[in-house]
Structure 1
């Protein structure tokens, strides 16, 4: 019966793609219009539109998002949200689930994507990872985001986790940023998105609920740049243990 599941999965993937394109075309005009506002108002309105888009789309494609731990967001506090990364579906799932205004870090080449590139310009800090000057500038921009009371969403694994392990090794960036700004880290674990878009099957998707849990924040007060490895290991263990605990339940 594998052939039947593969056929249904490809038909469903086509359905998801069509729904995504329809929503993108619907939201393109209002998102373009908000680009004329001042920076802070522009981002706040953009995130509200993006959240509405994802909260409508995800249940429609059979992938509702359930969030736990919103109480861990303190009022008026900006966080560096670090989340595991299993699938492209992580992006709409986090937009649907993260409260408040936030930006993410995205590859600069995504701006070249037709239509969707406009949205990346507004909602992301862009970086060319191969260019040291671009990496340095993105760090400055992320600090400015946090200074303005806006959350910064980062995937510390860097790219999608295609291994069989709960997490890949973390990069230093998120933790260097947290120490430099002395802003708290909010570890976040997401489940289910790998089952929606399996890494080993091209153009295949399967409906599945998504669960996202915001864990208690980790303070960075008192850490200095020499403590990056210690902080990174601490957050990694928190997320790894929670992932394993959920998988066993």
Structure 2
């Protein structure tokens, strides 16, 4: 990478972060109010708030979100939406652009971040990954979320994919949650976020359109826990094939 491109990328990164923080200070107000309400009302306040925020912020920094397949969401049906995870940019993209209020699973440590922690907490089910009790409680909350008619947005890879492979191996959690609740899985794939905010160089970014595609839902009605591995493998293969076929330069 030449010096001009590197310098411009660093400037873009810090300008984008300043704009993000400035707009976040406005969004903290409705997020704080939403925390006063129980679910599902909280999610019904938070989702349109975050959607409006990102509908303004992302296009203004040159990263518009282009969705495909949103009509696959059937009115009155909620889903376990499983999304690939390549970058921190996935977080403000994945949940706001799901058609309808939803919750995601997030590390409890992020909720302790000054200011941003309020926004993170308002839209998430928090879990301490190294605590068995916390993980059990998060499963209970995920089931409650689905029973309340909200979508559940999960990253089955468990962490950001920093490899050259389309996907990291999936964990079982999303598929256990879907089978227990007998809710369909909605595979979804995001393109472009790794290019916007790559792992290296640090504090470097560039503008680029983000493509967010929802694939055909997969029913879980009638499935049992013994089917979770086959379901996981099926979803993994569908998403991997789609990523390979539709990779964007």
- Which TM-score band (shorter chain)? over 0.9
For 1:22-37, list aligned pairs within 5 A: 22-37=22-37
Cα deviation for residue 92 of structure 1 reads: 1.2
Change (3 A) 1:175 1:95: closer
Cα deviation for residue 43 of structure 1 reads: 1.7
Aligned to 1:157: 157
For 1:76-95, list aligned pairs within 5 A: 76-95=76-95
Cα deviation for residue 248 of structure 1 reads: 7.3
Aligned to 1:58: 58
For 1:195-210, list aligned pairs within 5 A: 195-210=195-210
Aligned to 2:235: 235
2:93, 2:2 → 1: CA distance? 28
Unaligned runs of 5+ in 2: none
| Secondary structure, counterpart of 1:135 in structure 2 | helix
| Secondary structure, counterpart of 2:105 in structure 1 | strand
Q: Give RMSD over aligned pairs.
A: 1.3
Unaligned runs of 5+ in 1: none
1:134, 1:95 → 2: CA distance? 22
2:219, 2:129 → 1: CA distance? 28
Cα deviation for residue 38 of structure 1 reads: 3.8
Aligned to 2:142: 142
Contact 1:103 1:153 in 2 (8 A): yes
Give the TM-score normalised by structure 2: 0.97
Aligned to 1:188: 188
1:103, 1:111 → 2: CA distance? 14
Deviations 1:23-67 (A, max 9, x none): 101111122123223432222111111111111100011000000
* Bigger Cα displacement from structure 2, 209-218 vs 174-183: 174-183
| Secondary structure, counterpart of 2:204 in structure 1 | coil
Matched, 1:8 2:8: yes
